[in-house]
Amino acid sequence: MGDTIDGLIGYAMKHSTAISQSKLEMDNARLKRMQSGVAKYGELDIVGSYTHYNIERTLAPLPPSVMKSPAPITTSKDIFSIGLSYSVPLFTGFAQTRQVEISDIAKQMQSAKYRLTRDQVIYKYLA
C-alpha cells in the first residue's frame, strides 16, 4: 500500500461525503438547540413606513372653523413613521422547555450518528 493506516483513515475522513453530511447535520442540531434556548427571550422587531405624495396633503381632518381662520394649514408631501415592537411569550404550557429538551436529545442523537458514520466509513475503507 505504501500509506499508513492512520493516513488512509485521515484521507477517508476528509473526502467522505457521508462524513461531511453527518457533520452538517450535527451542526444543524446544535443550531436548533441554540434557537430553542433563545426563543424564551422573545422577539424585537423594527417597523417603519414611508409615504411620498406628489402634491402636499393635510395631516389632519379640517373642521369648518379652521378653514375660515387665516392660520396656515399643516401639510406634508413625505410622511414616515418608525417604531419598535417587543413580544415575549408569557406562558406556553411548558412548550419551550420541552422544545429545549427535545433539541438536546436531537443533538445527542446526531452526535451518535456522526460517530457511527465515522466508524462505518473507516470499516468500509479498510475492509
* Each residue's pLDDT tens digit, 74-117: 778 888 899 999 998 888 778 888 888 998 999 999 999 999 99
Question: Alpha-carbon distance 64 to 58, whole Å?
Answer: 14
Distance CA 64, CA 80 (A): 27
Helix boundaries (H) for the chain: 5-15, 17-38, 64-68, 95-126
Backbone CA torsion sign across 63, 67, 70, 73: positive
At residue 67, the pLDDT reads 58
- 13 vs 113, residue with greater confidence: 113
pLDDT value for 15: 86
Whole-prediction pTM = 0.57
Question: Would you place residue 68 in the very low, low, confident or very high pLDDT band (cuts 50, 70, 90)?
Answer: low
Tell me what percent of the residues of the chain surpass a pLDDT of 90: 25
According to the model, what pLDDT value does residue 115 have?
92
